[in-house]
Structure 1
């Protein structure tokens, strides 16, 4: 059993271990100086190029260490595999355990808490290390590269701005174009609907043109190619920096039908029996050392054979959707690579592919049909899952697989996304650069961290960037000319929602914190990570002094990097960062889309909704107000002269109201009065021209933070809600505004 920290402190005094000879040093105090390639004492051989290299970062989402073919997977990823064969793979590249902190490190070269992003942006709170956005005085990589003459382009996921900043009037300081990117096309958060995404271009909300086969990954790559074509036409003499943050493979697992069909039946044997073959392929590929151990399935994860048949069938379908989504992403990355080849830019492009954290999973042992419903509303029954079996991966689902599949995705490591074990923090990394004359198909095993990317790229590009404070990262360019070099990094700390870890000179201490427990009572484990690739053998009992030394070092690093004070209270944090409810809201035809948390909170407050319509005839159709999507939302619209209100509690629990009679031509005043109990139920009454036309009971309602889409007026170009019409259904009459009043 691992020893508790309290017991370990009895073994030796931690204070003595902070004297000379301790394992590491605290992060340097802020102090202005220039970062120069000579700072790294590197064996990197500068390349003699006619122009500085282009830089293309492709960041996958929630893809586990073993999920790519070149890291042992059975999933087809031929493009990424080819990039690996023509470049280098890194099998000891660490990130943070969550998406936003990893991106903060990737853009800044500094530790996530130090720059203010110790957790995801939606959970920001007024503590220096957890604000949810990068400090204004921190210079980011696009700013450094822009000053060096690069065109800078961001496409896809940002996730580094506060929820309150994500509406039409900003502020835009923390959006990509406020932090050094000249262009941005993408989305702010994480759980984006890949069939009906809420997208932005620079400062403006935009809607993509959605044909029958629309998928976000395809759209993002198409936009990336167009930006690069513009770059080639306008400024071919300049290098470019493009950051492409894909939504694949964060939930919901959405993929085109042909990819879903391709993987049908591939996972019928289950996650338990598929882990060993992945492990054996990893060893054959050299991405896992021969002496590595395969860690066992955690006790809290159900064995595949113990799942009831129906749960195995549904669970299998969710993994098929994940594989299909990753396969599709690889196909789209190939389109981008091909475009670079045709432009003559691929050879001199430093192309990196990585994941932002380990594979995720959770919520139910068979996975989820609608993950947000489980996370924010209530559990799904297995019967509901099975009724939706053929919907998994389509626009009428928001699927996520179970932790058993994430255990497969992170082979051979322990635990998953959100944990500071390697299953949460070790990412596959591929670096491809033909003009850089890298050793082809190399596997680099030095310990690196995502903070190391900025100094690495600066060194590879030959850029000396004046910075207001030193970088925390250490360049790993030295490994590219000689993959046998010893690790030069000394120390790296981790913290995610109270889980902590510290790596120092090949040793690692780690603890999993349970919310509500005292931090000082957490049990720590100890691993000689340099020799124990998968953190399989806990040495806490046999090496207690080493463990206490590392814990003391974690304390020192945490104090120097804004990690303290620790806080494990994550309940209701969306509500804490949402805009405060107002007494009155106005929504106008042809206005922009508004943030989901900006929608009036009709869950907690009685409300009155009023609109005066001008109808040209008694056959009018079209949307009046739409909020949310088909998984959770409501919609007020007309169809063939009838007024409709549809409330989606879940995809199966749908409440509908419709007027018996058509609304006649002329001026019609519509009023909806809502009486809610604030605990999840309500009753709506409807009047037309002050005449009662009916009521609707809502037995169960969702909180506003459960939504995954914003609010639209006089059309619905966003996510379908009722599916009662095709397309955006613009309103065929006219009205000035929809007024919503809340009883605060």
Structure 2
């Protein structure tokens, strides 16, 4: 049985002594010299090249340890597999269990809490370790490389700025262009709609040009190629650093139709039956040691054979969508690799592919059709899921698989994203650099962490960057010339929403915290990770002194890295960081869109919406105001002279209002008065030129946090809401503004 923290009180003094000694000191390197966290000297053989290498980071999202073909998956990832054959795979590479903290480590070479990103920005709080953005005095990799003569380009997911900073007026200090990148095209947070994304270019909010087959992954790669072409035209003598943060495969699982069709029926046998074949392939590939154990399905996951048929059918479809999305991402990465080849840049490009954390947590026994609905509105019934079965993976869905599939994705490990077990923190990593003459198809098993990437790249590129403070990371470049070397990593701590872990000299202590419990009552488990690859055998009972050592070391590391105080009230944290409602809002035609989280809160407050239209005739069509998307949102628009208001509570619960008569040409004043009870329902009344034209009851309303798209005015270039019209439907008349007042 794991040792309770309460049982350790008696040995506090002894554990503190041990923390200062045995576990905490640096392991001796070959020759007897200790390697410090800032000492780059190693067996890495410097490459003498005419130009410093380019650096291309490709970061996948929520892709588990076993989800890539070269790590044992049945999903087709031929491009990434080829990169692995031409370079090195790392099977003991760790990240932070959540997206934003991993990116903070990746960009800084320092521990996430130490630089202020102990959690995602949506859960930020005014404490040094949890602000949600990287401290201004921390020099980031793009700044280091820029000073060394690199062009620096970011494409895709950033997630390192506060939610209050994401509107048209910034501030932009923590956006990519404020932290060392010369160019950025991408998005701020997670859960981006891959068919209708809200994007940014440098400091500006933009919409992509969307054809019939638009998909965000394709767009991001196309933009990457264009940036690299600009680089080749303008400054071919310089190296480049490109960070490409894909949205794949974070929910919603969106993929093109041909990829969705490709995977139909491939997962009918279920997650239980598919885990052992992945495990066997992993051993055959050498990415899992022969003595590794396959961890059992966790108790909270229902066995596949015990699921009702309808739940199995729907669950299977969500996994098909995940596989299709990953397959598509691999195809797009191949496009980028081919472009580098045609430019003559691939050979001298250090190309790394990794994931930001383990496979996503999953939902329900069958997964979700609309994950934001179940997170912010209400659960789905199985009947609703089944009615939406053929929509899974399309623009009319926001799907997520069940936890059983995330268990498959992290084969052979325990647990998943958000947990400090290896299922949350072990990421596939591939390094490819033909001009660097790396050992081909190598599997490197040294324990290393995402904080180690910055010193590794600096060493590989031959750069000695002046830094305001030492890095936490330890270069693993030494492993590339000799994959058999012992790890030079000393210690690594972890914390995610109260879950904690510490690794030191091959041992790991870990605890899973339940929200609301006292942290001091949490039970810790102990693993000899150096010999137990999948953390399968808990040694807490047989090695209590070792566990005491490690917990004391975690306390010491936590105090030194801004991890304390701990907090597990994520819902409360989100409420505190969300922007506060204000009394009045103005929206103008042709304005940039308005951030979804700063939209008027018509759930908690009575409201008044007013606009004065100038209509050239009685056949006017077009959008007046649109907020949200087809999963949750509303829009006010005209069609053939009639005024419409559509409120989407869920995809099936839609309330519609339309005027009986067409609005005649001339000046028309539209007013909507909303009376809400603050508990989830409301009633709207509509007037035209001070004359009542009807009302609309909203039996259920969503909170403003449920929105996944911002406010658009006089057009809808963003996500469709009502699907009542095609395209962006710009307003055919004119108006000066839409005014929204809240009764605060």
TM-score calculated relative to the size of structure 1: 0.98
Displacement, 1:362? 2.6
C-alpha contact 1:80 1:330 (8 A) present in aligned 2: yes
Tell me the SS of whatever aligns to 2:38. Answer: helix
Displacement, 1:594? 1.1
Tell me the SS of whatever aligns to 2:466. Answer: strand
The 2-side partners of 1:20 and 1:360 are apart by: 36
C-alpha contact 1:67 1:73 (8 A) present in aligned 2: yes
Displacement, 1:609? 0.2
Displacement, 1:140? 0.1
Could you say if the C-alpha distance between residues 30 and 477 of structure 1 is closer, same or farther in structure 2, counting changes exceeding 3 Å?
closer
Partner deviation per Cα, 1:163-190 (whole Å, 9 max, x = no partner): 0000000000000000000000000000
Partner deviation per Cα, 1:650-709 (whole Å, 9 max, x = no partner): 000000000000000000000000000011100000000000000000000000011100
Tell me whether 5-14 or 290-299 shows the greater mean CA deviation.
5-14
Displacement, 1:32? 27
C-alpha contact 1:154 1:184 (8 A) present in aligned 2: yes
The 1-side partners of 2:502 and 2:365 are apart by: 31
Tell me the SS of whatever aligns to 1:489. Answer: coil
The 2-side partners of 1:572 and 1:212 are apart by: 41
Could you say if the C-alpha distance between residues 392 and 597 of structure 1 is closer, same or farther in structure 2, counting changes exceeding 3 Å?
same
The 2-side partners of 1:119 and 1:316 are apart by: 31
Displacement, 1:731? 0.2
The 2-side partners of 1:173 and 1:608 are apart by: 35
C-alpha contact 2:624 2:636 (8 A) present in aligned 1: yes
Could you say if the C-alpha distance between residues 14 and 692 of structure 1 is closer, same or farther in structure 2, counting changes exceeding 3 Å?
farther
Displacement, 1:363? 2.7
The 1-side partners of 2:11 and 2:185 are apart by: 55
Could you say if the C-alpha distance between residues 259 and 29 of structure 1 is closer, same or farther in structure 2, counting changes exceeding 3 Å?
same
The 2-side partners of 1:459 and 1:502 are apart by: 27
Displacement, 1:28? 18
The 2-side partners of 1:418 and 1:669 are apart by: 50
Could you say if the C-alpha distance between residues 36 and 380 of structure 1 is closer, same or farther in structure 2, counting changes exceeding 3 Å?
same
Could you say if the C-alpha distance between residues 587 and 29 of structure 1 is closer, same or farther in structure 2, counting changes exceeding 3 Å?
farther
Displacement, 1:143? 0.1
Q: Which residue of 1 aligns with 2:597?
A: 597
Deviation >6 Å, runs of 4+: 26-38
Could you say if the C-alpha distance between residues 16 and 387 of structure 1 is closer, same or farther in structure 2, counting changes exceeding 3 Å?
closer
Tell me whether 10-19 or 111-120 shows the greater mean CA deviation.
10-19
The 1-side partners of 2:36 and 2:25 are apart by: 21
C-alpha contact 1:146 1:152 (8 A) present in aligned 2: yes
Tell me the SS of whatever aligns to 1:735. Answer: strand
Tell me the SS of whatever aligns to 1:255. Answer: coil
The 1-side partners of 2:597 and 2:565 are apart by: 28
The 2-side partners of 1:192 and 1:272 are apart by: 30
Could you say if the C-alpha distance between residues 251 and 610 of structure 1 is closer, same or farther in structure 2, counting changes exceeding 3 Å?
same
Q: Which residue of 2 aligns with 1:535?
A: 535
Displacement, 1:8? 3.4
Could you say if the C-alpha distance between residues 391 and 74 of structure 1 is closer, same or farther in structure 2, counting changes exceeding 3 Å?
same
Displacement, 1:573? 3.0
Displacement, 1:577? 1.5
Partner deviation per Cα, 1:411-434 (whole Å, 9 max, x = no partner): 000000000000000000000000
Displacement, 1:580? 1.3
Displacement, 1:718? 0.3
Could you say if the C-alpha distance between residues 739 and 35 of structure 1 is closer, same or farther in structure 2, counting changes exceeding 3 Å?
farther
Tell me whether 380-389 or 356-365 shows the greater mean CA deviation.
356-365
C-alpha contact 2:253 2:321 (8 A) present in aligned 1: yes
User: 1:67-216, aligned counterparts within 5 Å?
Assistant: 67-216=67-216
Could you say if the C-alpha distance between residues 34 and 218 of structure 1 is closer, same or farther in structure 2, counting changes exceeding 3 Å?
farther
The 2-side partners of 1:228 and 1:465 are apart by: 24
Could you say if the C-alpha distance between residues 12 and 573 of structure 1 is closer, same or farther in structure 2, counting changes exceeding 3 Å?
closer
C-alpha contact 1:37 1:459 (8 A) present in aligned 2: no
Could you say if the C-alpha distance between residues 548 and 25 of structure 1 is closer, same or farther in structure 2, counting changes exceeding 3 Å?
same
Displacement, 1:122? 1.2
The 2-side partners of 1:295 and 1:378 are apart by: 33
Partner deviation per Cα, 1:489-511 (whole Å, 9 max, x = no partner): 01000000000000000000000
C-alpha contact 1:71 1:282 (8 A) present in aligned 2: yes
Number of residue pairs matched by the alignment: 744
Displacement, 1:20? 5.0
Q: Which residue of 1 aligns with 2:332?
A: 332
Could you say if the C-alpha distance between residues 33 and 244 of structure 1 is closer, same or farther in structure 2, counting changes exceeding 3 Å?
farther
C-alpha contact 1:35 1:465 (8 A) present in aligned 2: no
The 2-side partners of 1:657 and 1:417 are apart by: 42
Could you say if the C-alpha distance between residues 168 and 554 of structure 1 is closer, same or farther in structure 2, counting changes exceeding 3 Å?
same
Tell me the SS of whatever aligns to 1:671. Answer: strand
Tell me the SS of whatever aligns to 1:335. Answer: helix
Partner deviation per Cα, 1:609-660 (whole Å, 9 max, x = no partner): 0000000000000000000000000000000000000000000000000000
Displacement, 1:15? 4.2
